[in-house]
Amino acid sequence: MSVQKLLQKIRTPWIERVSREMARGEGVRAGFEEQLVRFYDLLEQAVMSGDTAWLDPILYDWARSPTETNLDEGGYHVSFVMGRMIAMTIEVARQNLTKAQALDVLEAVIPIYTHSLSVVARYEMETRVAHISSELGTVQEKLQQLDRSKSNFISVAAHELKTPLTLIEGYTSMMADVVAQSGETQIDSLLRGVNTGILRLRRIIDDMIDVSLIDNNLLTLNFQPIWISHLLDLLKNETRKSIAERRQNFIINDFAGSELWIYADSERLYQALYNVLINAIKYTPDKGTITVDGRLLPGFIEITVADTGIGISPENQALIFEKFGQLGRTELHSSGKTKFKGGGPGLGLPITRGIIEAHGGTIWVESEGYDEIKCHGATFHILLPTRTEPTDPRIARLFGNLESQRSNTELNVKENTPTNNTAA
């Protein structure tokens, strides 16, 4: 008996067996039987022609048919169904055919089944990858929307808080003038405390506004000629009191590039360096050491701020540059700005990163890890491009004219200066 007639002989029991085991419920079974009839027809065509591609259309349909729920739950596996169909084909052939006939049928269909299983697995994997990619795209879009909402909230909250804060600051100043005239020393001390709170709140609001500007790519820079050494000297004077209170050592080494005249936004760059330095002061124990150093690289100046503090674990070294990226339990932080492990809104380093990147540079941190006993410390690296010309052509022309005038003046002075022979 030919293989085609043997396939016809087991056709009905095969369809009944597969549909009974794989489909639950009469409604589901009826639809599944239609698919099995189509599959078996194509299987016979593949056996007779020797071309396994006859089954590809139905395999493609099956592999692409899972619903979103099936994919989310991970419970729909066409390859599993194909595996069971192979097993049941072997059982039906053994039960309805002689041993020799069963071997003939299996010899003809097993290669086709094997090919079909590989095709289904490939199609199924492509479907799942497409579904996961779509899900990741949806999640990414939601995260971007959430981030935009956070940025909008920060921007609105900062501007809304600034108005009443200005009113409070104004009325407090007027009250201080009245108290000064009346000589009430007790109220004067209370007003100084209120004013200190106002200043701290204003710094937080200004930081919130800066974060909003950075998030929305609205941060503008005013490029001017500066020296890094000059900014570091200003920082040393600004933090002198805090360093003294914490009995820390603050060392600024001379390094190549610190005296180089570059173009940058001096105010913003000072703000960035100040945030890094304040962070070092906060997370370095009393009597610790903070060292500022650097070097000149091709096209860049590298500034390093190294401390002997508690360090940062590797998994948190990127987190500290994210908005509100606080480490540890916030309820255990002290409230002072420069106290050991002092708390804060977690905006200083994100603002620093935004400012440095707006200059065309980058910032990162290195640390062996977090340890409050051994104090491995941390080293912040800041790379700034050695921009030796202003970005605005109008400013470039202005400084070019000034340089030309200075050169002409020096030339005139040399020409009009008598030589020693003439003087003699």
Q: Residue 67: what pLDDT? A: 45
**Mean pLDDT (the chain, rounded):** 81
Q: Residue 70: what pLDDT? A: 46
* pLDDT of 389 strictly over 80: no
Burial of 301 (0-12, 13-18, 19+ CB in 10 A): buried
Cβ neighbors of 26 (< 8 A, separation 6 or more) are none
What whole-number distance in Å separates Cα of residue 222 and Cα of residue 391?
A: 10
Tell me if 311 sits within 8 A of 377, measured CB to CB. yes
Of the pLDDT bands very low, low, confident and very high (cuts 50, 70, 90), residue 411 is: very low
pTM comes to 0.56
Across the range 15-42, mean pLDDT stands at: 78
What whole-number distance in Å separates Cα of residue 268 and Cα of residue 401?
A: 27
Share of the chain above pLDDT 90, in %: 35
Angle at 225 between CA 224 and CA 228, to 5 degrees: 115
Domains of the chain plus CATH, in order, are 3-143 (1.10.490), 224-387 (3.30.565.10)
**Of 388, 365, 358, whose CA–CA distance to 296 is shortest?**
388
**Which carries the bigger pLDDT value, residue 146 or residue 321?**
321
What whole-number distance in Å separates Cα of residue 45 and Cα of residue 47?
A: 5
**Which alpha helices (DSSP H) does 216-347 contain, by range?**
228-238, 240-245, 266-282
Share of the chain above pLDDT 70, in %: 82
Give how far the C-alpha of residue 237 lies from the chain's centroid of Cα atoms, to the nearest Å. Answer: 35
Element housing 296 (H / E): strand 289-297
Cβ neighbors of 415 (< 8 A, separation 6 or more) are none
* pLDDT of 48 strictly over 60: yes
Tell me if 67 sits within 8 A of 127, measured CB to CB. no
* pLDDT of 413 strictly over 80: no
